[in-house]
Amino acid sequence: MTDAGVRAILPAGDRAILVELDSLAAVLSLQAALQAHPLAGQIDVVAAASTVLVTAASSEDARRIAAHVRTLDLGQRPEIDAALVTIEVVYDGEDLAAVGELTGLGAEGVVAAHTGSVWTAAFGGFAPGFTYLAGGDARLEVPRRATPRTAVPAGAVALGGAYSAVYPRQTPGGWQLIGRTDAVLWDLDRSSPALIRPGNRVQFNAVRATALAPASTSATKGAPAAGAAAVGPAPGLVVVRSGLQTTIQDLGRPGSADLGVTASGAMDSGALRQANRLAGNPAAAAGIEVLHGGLALAALADQVLAVAGAPLNLTITDPDGGEREVPMLAPFALLAGETLELGTPHRGLRSYVAVRGGLDAPLVLGSRSTDTMSGIGPAPLAAGSLLGVIAAPPWSVVGNPELPAADAPEVTVLRMVPGPRQDWFDDAVVTGFAGREWTVTPQSNRIGLRLSGTALERSRDGELASEGTVRGALQVPPSGQPVLFLSDHPVTGGYPVIGVVAAADLDKAAQLPPGARVRFVPDASAAPVL
């Protein structure tokens, strides 16, 4: 038995482990070993600079994976795809002159050093197609910008710390921009969507601006524009009014985090499962997630629907103007020409509409879910969006009406597993965290709940090297105001995680509206025994 290369194995919630390793070579070796021979219950393997995050289907699976990791010989060089990828770059980035001053190389020297290196793709990043490139000229190591940009354009070539990278699509970012390329980093029509895979060698070539077309990205390729005939060849419903944010969701696309793609899926998976059960569908069938009500759907053919999640009034209007109320948590008919309107929730935030047979949205990496972080999947629904409905098998049976859940308490309590980075805070801060109440802010979304309260002070200076993150992670930025990562969270993050909410409690978090109060209770017993 050996644990050579492994410094520590830490719980990252109740269904994941974070493996700390002593070198990038050990990181790549562990990632290669787990991907070549996946274990029972293994879902995602996310490599970073000095860690590997492994997510699992259960706490017991996470424990067994940790035990297996300790037996691996990570001293062996893994078999990797060392193919050379050439990227043509126009070196006219906004930060090129500043990088020249920081390094003492001048702008021309930066270009010479960047193109004179053969970089190695080390690991994936926070977005599909974003890859950290290591092994370049050591003189190019520069700090990230003090204030990140809110929008870095697609195709931007950048430096951050000891790494270089190309931004596949427009996203926020704090790296130093030195150039741009029209290389398509992410294309779902390719057999391997990512242009650069871990292990590849990358060479940058300087070209003139006239040689390049405007930078582009296909991160959203296959995702139709809002309002288009978005989802399927045989429409069964049309969106009359979409409300604040209405998306198609199923149970997500786990297993693609190494590509920079998070699982996404329904925020309140239990509510989607319930709506599907009532409509006679498999649990994973695609339905509609509605934020704060306001959705109106017209039937183009007779349909059977069910609505679960945040309770609200359901009103059906027939073509003659007659109205009738239908209950939640029970199947009901919506006949051709009729319109269903969802009111405002009496409590909670998100409601789920299931249609018998399931929605016929395009499958992207095995899921029909809209991912608001990466832009993968169907566009959010808008007035005029046509919804295809899959024909239900003749043996499917709708469910019996079900009782509503009890009213939510004034303060929602969420259980959490401490760490994996609680050592970035004094013991008093970690202990006191359990006694604090936090308020959900209006800036919250599918990526995460932004919380407001007494700031959490770190006990360490500096930056945490980016590492894999999980749904439920409580990440603490320099402001001290935590963010609870939810369905569309980034795959990697660079702020310490003080705790991870237990998977069973995340549906409750999905229903917390702005102004809701929440408290986190440590529950070390939920962590996998390592």
Is the predicted pLDDT of residue 492 greater than 60, yes or no?
A: yes
The distance in angstroms from the start CA to the end CA of the chain is: 16
44: CB partners within 8 A, 6+ apart: 53, 54, 55, 254, 255, 256, 257, 258, 263, 468
- pLDDT, tens digit, for every residue of 381-437? 999 999 999 999 988 899 999 999 888 899 999 999 999 999 999 999 999 998 899
| Whether residue 497 has pLDDT greater than 80 | yes
Q: To which residue do tokens 């391997």 refer?
A: 192
Percent of the chain with pLDDT over 70: 93
User: Which of 3-12, 232-241, 453-462, 499-508 has the weakest average pLDDT?
Assistant: 232-241
pLDDT for 221 beyond 50: no
CATH topology of domain 6-69: Gyrase A; domain 2 (3.30.1360)
pLDDT at 49: 86
Residues with Cβ within 8 Å of 38's Cβ and at least 6 positions away in sequence, in order, are: none
Task: Give mean pLDDT, residues 363-385.
Answer: 94
Distance CA 29, CA 23 (A): 10
Q: Has residue 465 got a pLDDT over 70?
A: yes
Rounded to whole angstroms, the Cα distance separating 173 from 158 reads 10
Encode pLDDT of 121-161 as tens digits.
988 877 889 999 999 999 999 988 877 787 899 999 999 98
As a whole number, the mean pLDDT across the chain is 90
DSSP lists the bridge partners of residue 88 as: 205
CATH match for 84-211 among 2.40.100.10, 3.40.1350.10, 3.60.15.10, 3.90.960.10: 2.40.100.10
Burial of 116 (0-12, 13-18, 19+ CB in 10 A): exposed
Query: What are the sequence ranges of the domains in the chain?
Result: 6-69, 84-211, 235-388, 411-526
Q: In what order do the strands lie in the sheet with 51-56?
A: 6-11, 16-21, 51-56, 42-47
**Domain 411-526 classified CATH 1.10.760.10?**
no
pLDDT tens-digit map of 16-55: 999 999 988 899 899 989 999 999 999 999 999 899 999 9
84-211 and 411-526 agree in CATH topology: yes
Q: What is the pLDDT of residue 223?
A: 41
Q: Which H helix or E strand runs over 427? A: helix 427-433
* 278-316 residue pLDDT tens: 999 999 999 999 999 999 999 999 999 999 999 999 999
